[in-house]
Copies of this chain bind each other. A is one copy, B any other.
Amino acid sequence: MHLSRRDFSKLTAIGIAAELIPANSALGYAQPASKKVGYAIIGLGRIADLHMQGIHASPTSKITALVSGHRDKAEKYAAQYGIPTSSIYSYETMDQLRDNPTVDATYVCLPNSMHAEYTIRSAKAGKHVFCEKPMATSVSDAEAMIAACKAANVKLMMGYRCHYETTNLAAIKLIRDGAIGQVRSIQSAFGFNADPKEWRLSMPLAGGGPLMDVGIYCLNASRYLTGEEPVSFSAYTTSDPRDPRFNHPNSVEEDLVWTTKFPSGIVASCSTSYGANMQGYYRVYGSKGWLQVDEAFSYQGLRLTGEYWRDAKKEADRVVHLDQPNLEKVPHQFINEADHFSHCILTGQVPKSPGEEGLRDMQCIQQIYKSAGIKIA
C-alpha cells in the first residue's frame, strides 16, 4: 500500500469547520456580539430544548420569549433562561409578539402540520422565522410560507441541522474536492421506534410518517452530497398489520424505502422506519473511492470513514477516520445553526438553508409518497 502525500487526516473536524462554517460561528471565530438576536421559541418539546441550549450558547443569539400551551413548562424555562414572565405567550396570544421589541425571530418547533400556520403568523408579526423540518405537510403550505415571509420582508430558515454539522460538511467537502471521484451511488437510512403515544404516528397531526420526520435526513443528504436535484422516484412501503401503532385508519406508514435518480446518473437508495431503531448513516460510492458517515444524523458521535484510490483501479491509499468530539455539552450543530441565522439577520445575508430548501424536499416527499401509493395532504 502506497501512502499518498494527500493526507485526508489533515481534514480534521475543526479544520473543516473553519473553512465551511460562517466566520462568525461559535466554532470558528467567535466574538462577543454587540447586538444579540432575540428569539421567541414556539412549542416547548424535546427539540425545542436542544434549540434553546444552542441559542443560549451562541454568541449572537438569546432567548427572549416563549410560546406554549403549558404555562408551567414555560415558566420553568423562563426562569432557566432569564426571560420575563411577561414574555410568555399562549398559542392564542402569540400574535402579540408583534409588540415585543426584544423578539427579532421565532423558532417554530411544533408538530409538522402546525409549521405553516405558525410560520405565517410569525411573519405577519414582523418576525424572522426559523422553522423545524419538515417544512410543512404539503407543497402548497410550503409555498405559502415562503410567500408570507417574502411579503413581510422577513427571513425564513429551515432547521436542517446537518448543514451546520462539521462531519457532514467534511463529507461534502471531500466529495466536492473530488477525493472519491465522480459520485455513482448513495445508500442511506434513518429511523427509530416511535412511541405509541406521540403525535408522530397520527397522519392528521404529522401529515406523513417516518419519511417526513427522519427519512427527510436521508433525502436531504442525497441532495447535499450530490449537489443535484432528483429527477425520478420509486418507493415501497410496508407496515406490520399486527402492530397497533400502524394498523388504525389514521396511522402513518411504518417503513418506507425509496430510490431517486439524479440528472448525472447518480442513484440514491434510502430507507426509513418508525418500527426499527435505524442508526442513521450514509455511504457514498465514487469512481475513485467511497466514504461512509455513521451516526450521520445524530447530535454527536458522528464518524466519517472511507478509502480512495489514486488511479481509480488500485488499492486504497488511506483510510479516513474523522471522529467528532463525543462529549460536547451542547451539540455544536445547534449552536452553529442559531449562530448562522442570527448572523444572517444581523448582516442581511440569505440563510444557507432557506425556505426554498424545505420546499424542494417537500416536492420530493410528495413524489416519493405518490410512488409508494400513500395519500398525503
Contacts and interface: CB of A to CB of B under 8 A. Distances in A.
Interface residues of A, number: 42
A112 interface: no
Contact of A273 (B184, B238, B257): B184
Contacts of A193: 287, 312-313
B261 A236 contact: yes
A255 interface: yes
A236 B185 CA distance: 11
Contacts of A185: 189, 255, 257, 271, 273, 276, 278
A191 B285 contact: yes
A38 interface: no
A81 interface: no
A287 B278 CA distance: 8
Given A189-B185, A193-B313, A285-B273, A259 B257 contact: yes
Interface in A253-304: 255, 257, 259, 261, 265, 267, 269-271, 273, 275-279, 281, 283, 285-290
A236 B261 CA distance: 8
A261 to B, nearest CB: 5
Contacts of A77: none
Contacts of A232: 236
